[in-house]
């Protein structure tokens, strides 16, 4: 099946219209739905009933922007689903009060949050014998290369860790150009990709034999999808994700 993809420019236009005065979604609403869909994808791919022993940790790496916000929401839902999320949030966003509220919610649920001060120790929390997966919520479709620190070092480390622990990337693998794909020798090749709203061009460069692809972000009707040149996805029942 050939999937319709949209460029970074078109994805930004979709978000702008969704949050514009005619439709009226807020960033907070879309982020909640996106983060919930990522959490649901994790539960589909790494079901707790199939977990052996103490391997229930999900390590979430959150970037400073909206992709990171999706990761923070995802972590909260995973906690409620019975997983043990640990969040690494090296550069906290001061863009709006909402991001502070997301971290307060995690603290309320007693989800550990590592900060930029843990740059040398975060890897101690990622052990193959205890970690189900790593959620890569660092950068999304608006990312423009090159990577800067501390994220270059983080992605370099994830490049090594992915041989031992599955990585779930949110919307695009962090460090990839949304339209062109990997831009460096060391890059993330995720075990799972959760595209939000509609896949981006770089998703076509992933090997379907190595990467399971989900679509999430179930908040647009058919006429809106058709306006931007794609068909809505066939979500089942109350599901917020669909395996492609």
Binding-site residues for K(+): 67, 136, 174
Number of DSSP helices (H) and strands (E) in the chain, helices first: 6, 10
What distance lies between CA 138 and its chain's CA centroid?
A: 8
- What is each CA distance from 42 to 57, 128, 153, 170, in whole angstroms? 12, 17, 25, 11
Rounded to the nearest 10°, the torsion over CA 151, 36, 25, 88 is -20
The crossing angle, in degrees rounded to 10, of helices 66-80 and 27-45 is 50
* Beta sheet of 131-137, edge-to-edge order: 113-114, 84-88, 57-62, 131-137, 167-170, 192-196, 212-216, 241-243
The SS3 assignment for 195 reads strand
Taking alpha carbons only, the member of 180, 176, 155 closest to residue 167 is 155
CB atoms within 10 A of CB 107: 11
As annotated, the binding site includes 66-70, 136, 140-146, 171, 174
What CA–CA distance (Å, rounded) separates 49 from 233? 28
């Amino acid at each position: 099946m050939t999937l319709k993809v949209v460029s970074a420019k078109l994805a930004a236009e979709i978000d702008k219209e969704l949050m514009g005065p005619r439709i009226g979604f807020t960033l907070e609403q879309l982020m909640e739905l996106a983060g919930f869909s990522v959490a649901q994808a994790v539960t589909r791919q790494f079901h707790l009933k199939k977990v052996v022993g103490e391997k229930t940790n999900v390590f979430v790496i959150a970037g400073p922007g909206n992709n990171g916000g999706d990761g923070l929401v995802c972590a909260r839902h995973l906690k409620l689903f019975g997983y043990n999320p640990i969040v690494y949030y090296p550069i906290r966003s001061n863009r709006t009060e909402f991001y502070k509220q997301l971290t307060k919610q995690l603290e309320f649920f007693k989800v550990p949050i590592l900060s930029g001060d843990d740059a040398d120790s975060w890897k101690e929390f990622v052990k193959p014998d205890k970690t189900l997966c790593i959620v890569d919520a660092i950068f999304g479709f608006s990312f423009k290369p090159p990577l800067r620190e501390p994220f270059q070092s983080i992605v370099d480390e994830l490049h090594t860790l992915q041989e031992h622990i599955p990585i779930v990337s949110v919307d695009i693998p962090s460090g990839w150009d949304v339209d062109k794909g990997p831009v460096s020798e060391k890059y993330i090749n995720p075990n799972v990709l959760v595209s939000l709203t509609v896949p981006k061009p770089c998703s076509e460069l992933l090997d379907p034999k190595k990467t399971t692809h989900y679509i999430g972000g179930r908040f647009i009707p058919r006429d809106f999808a058709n306006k931007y040149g794609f068909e809505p996805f066939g979500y089942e029942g109350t599901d917020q994700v669909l395996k492609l």
